Amino acid sequence: MIESKIIAILNIFGIVLAFFSIVYAAGVVWRVEKKLDISYKLFLSAVVAYAISLFLEIFNGIGSATMELYIAITKIVFIALFLGGILMMRDLIRDMDGEK
């Protein structure tokens, strides 16, 4: 019983941190251009997907298999978007360093 309370508290804490990440990433998206803009849009989308997965975990009180599938899908979307942002940022830094 106590484990479920700890998990709920950690999920709520994760949602709060995700909210702050969304706010700050959105603030950066509106101030940058070109590849940096795309990179931060991918990071922002990744955080939104992660926040959605946390919400789904909180509302999955009955352990529905369908809800578990949606949680897994949102986590895969998070990883894909985050990786896309990382690759864009890597390319931008390589261009700045003159590696390309």
| pLDDT the model gives residue 62 | 76
| pLDDT the model gives residue 47 | 93
Mean pLDDT of 85-97: 87
Residue 25 to residue 21: CA distance in whole angstroms: 6
Mean pLDDT of 37-41: 86
Give me the percent of the chain exceeding a pLDDT of 70: 99
Q: Is the pLDDT of residue 22 over 80?
A: yes
Computed over every residue of the chain, the mean pLDDT equals 86
Residue 91: which residues within 8 A CB-CB, separation 6 or more? 35, 100
Q: Which of 85, 14, 73, 90 is nearest to 43 (CA)?
A: 85
Q: How many domains does the chain have?
A: 1
Question: pTM, whole model, 2 decimals?
Answer: 0.78
**What is the residue type of 23?**
V
Give residue 23's domain range: 2-97
* pLDDT tens digit sequence for 46-79: 999 999 998 888 887 777 888 889 999 999 999 9
Residue 82 to residue 56: CA distance in whole angstroms: 19
